[in-house]
Amino acid sequence: MGIPVVLDCDPGHDDAIAIMLAAADPALDLLGITTVAGNQTLEKTTLNARRVCTVAGIKDVPIAAGCARPLIRPLRVAQDVHGESGLDGPAFGEPAVDVTGEHAVELMHRLLAERPVTLVPTGPLTNIALLLTRYPEDAARITEIVLMGGSTGRGNTTPYAEFNIHVDPEAAAIVFASGVPVTLCGLNVTHQALVTPDVVARLEGLGTELGRVCAELMTFFGATYRDLFGFTSPPLHDPVAVARVIDPALVSCVEAHVAIETLGEHTSGATVVDFDGRLGMPPNARVAVGLDAPAFFDHVIEAVRVLSTVD
């Protein structure tokens, strides 16, 4: 049996691939998918999770919707990056999988009661912070939290804040202060996971409907990343966090103290990564610094291939 994981996501083009990787890789046992407002509204991210599971043939993983807005701040979505639907590009039919009806926090709490679970958040950390606040006893049952968010350097939403942390800095502060082992997969490493034309060709080369859908998702994502950020190829952020759980050798990390800026007028949402101990605080996180990109993309392509063969 694989490592028990729950993916907490805001699909989102890169979240969509993260769902497929988490569902298909034999190293993992995807117990649940929870959704949060982020890239788009909760209604849209939840519909998108259902759409991805439908097109990928992921029928036996419970999906539960979570928080519709950050803990304190108003919701900010990323429609400029992911489109009006949050998953623009390919056309999706009616989803064939539904949500369980329970809140995301309740699904995570229920699964944690049965066995320790690794949580993999790839959106704002609102659901995770709410879980830790509502059920503080669950902290001891979380194996680790391996998240996509933050950066050891510049941000992508403000000069020093990455989107997932910027949307809900208070939630991130709760997570990093929780004492649960946390691994931060930030922009400094996810920008090494560029979906080049060769990767898109490999998806198309699968010759399957799912491969075509993924290629179309990456083509849309690539266009917005080119227009907004000047990237020649889009970074596949979220699957990097999943890859770290699959095989830690894929994503190298160092230990450091990470402080979350919640008050800064210009820096709110910044992940202040203190590699040299300048703040006099002990390390509270593993921080991703390197990616084996060829091996990473081999896992991604294989996941799409495996799911394409599911009837």
15 makes contact with Ca ion (CB under 5 A): yes
- Tokens 């091996």 belong to residue: 295
Helix H or strand E segment including 270: none
Provide the CA 158 distance to its chain's centre, in angstroms: 19
How many C-beta atoms surround the C-beta of residue 229 within 10 A?
A: 12
Q: Which of 21, 22, 30, 39 contacts ligand RIB by CB under 6 A?
A: 39
162 makes contact with Ca ion (CB under 5 A): no
The secondary structure of the chain in percent helix, strand, coil, rounded to multiples of 5, reads 40, 20, 40
Tell me how far apart the alpha carbons of residues 237 and 222 are, in angstroms, rounded to a whole number: 13
Span interacting with Ca ion, options 25-33, 121-129, 193-201, 214-222, rule CB under 5 A: 121-129
Q: Are 12 and 38 in contact (CB under 8 A)?
A: yes
Q: Which of 123, 169, 211, 269 contacts ligand RIB by CB under 6 A?
A: 123
12 makes contact with Ca ion (CB under 5 A): yes
Q: Which of 44, 50, 191, 237 contacts ligand RIB by CB under 6 A?
A: 237
* Nearest in space to 186 (alpha carbons), one of 230, 131, 226, 244: 244
- Least Å distance, CB 247 to ligand RIB, is 20
163 makes contact with ligand RIB (CB under 6 A): yes
156 makes contact with ligand RIB (CB under 6 A): yes
- State the first-to-last Cα distance of the chain, in angstroms, to the nearest integer: 22
Span interacting with ligand RIB, options 88-96, 155-163, 169-177, 201-209, rule CB under 6 A: 155-163
Instruction: Count interface residues toward ligand RIB (CB under 6 A).
Output: 16
Q: What are phi and psi for residue 161, nearest 5 degrees? A: -125, 130
How many C-beta atoms surround the C-beta of residue 181 within 10 A?
A: 14
Q: Which of 126, 164, 271, 284 contacts ligand RIB by CB under 6 A?
A: 164
Exactly one of 13, 82, 237, 299 is catalytic; which is it? 237
Which residues are known catalytic residues?
A: 237
Q: Which residues bind ligand RIB (CB under 6 A)?
A: 10, 12, 14-15, 38-39, 78, 122-123, 148, 156, 162-164, 237-238
